[in-house]
Amino acid sequence: MVPKQKKGKNKHKLTVICVTGTPGTGKTTISKRLANELGYKYINLNELLKESNLNIGRDDKRDSYIINEGKIPEKIRETINKAEKSGEKGIILDSHLSHFANKEQIDLCIVCKCELKELKRRLEKRGYSRKKVEENLEAEIFEVCKTEALEQGLKVIEINCSSNVKKEVKEIIKFLKKDMSQMVIQPSSVSRRR
């Protein structure tokens, strides 16, 4: 059982975990497994943002949508409120943009990492252009998602999703059961960051 959140920690009653990382690092695999293991609702934040018309344009050169990042916390708040009203005990937000939430909204931010060779293989398998593969590899090298999550003031843990995802999910669940507020993690594959 995941520990109940302490009063004053956040303004909602359910546990909210965001899973972020460079595209191709394993966010969706981790998110869906965690949601299944914990009995939480899985939310593909990218799809939700598209449905909500939060894209303010398209960058054809980079083959991506331009999202109004300032509106992400509002959409997350709406999602949390809806999940609370429907009786969910927790939600997992899956997106390379999920860390743009306000720190009061998120109990834990999981940053998925991947070895560069494996990440390159995954992105090429998706059919990404050479330029888009390079851009995402650079984002991974410079730890863009982790840096942005820390700048938001989120509690961040990193996991290596290069291979044994089942093991990583078990380690995260073990960590969650200990008590997220302690932020003490022993496994070498999961590391603490403030």
Domain-wise residue ranges, the chain: 15-193
Q: Which residues have a Cβ under 8 Å from the Cβ of 167 and sit 6 or more positions away?
A: 189
Q: Are β-strands 190-193 and 156-160 bridged in parallel, bridged antiparallel, or unpaired?
A: antiparallel
The pLDDT score that the predictor gives to residue 179 is: 62
The pLDDT score that the predictor gives to residue 180 is: 58
Name the β-bridge partners of 19. Answer: 94, 110
Residue 155 pLDDT level (bands cut at 50, 70, 90): very high
The pLDDT score that the predictor gives to residue 10 is: 58
The pLDDT score that the predictor gives to residue 63 is: 79
Could you tell me if 52 and 75 are in contact, meaning their C-beta atoms sit under 8 angstroms apart?
Answer: yes
Least confident of 60-64, 82-86, 105-109, 142-146: 60-64
Residue 117 pLDDT level (bands cut at 50, 70, 90): very high
Q: Which CATH superfamily hosts domain 15-193?
A: P-loop containing nucleotide triphosphate hydrolases (3.40.50.300)
Does the structure show a pLDDT above 80 at 49?
A: yes
The pTM for the full model equals: 0.85
Least confident of 17-26, 113-122, 138-147, 167-176: 167-176
Residue of 191 and 155 predicted with greater confidence:
155
Q: What is the mean pLDDT of residues 19-26?
A: 97
Q: What is the mean pLDDT of residues 8-27?
A: 86
The pLDDT score that the predictor gives to residue 188 is: 37
Q: What is the mean pLDDT of residues 161-182?
A: 82
Q: In this structure, what token pair is assigned to residue 37?
A: 């293991």
Between CA 157 and CA 165 the distance in angstroms is 15
End-to-end CA distance of the chain: 25
Residue of 133 and 165 predicted with greater confidence:
133
The pLDDT score that the predictor gives to residue 67 is: 86
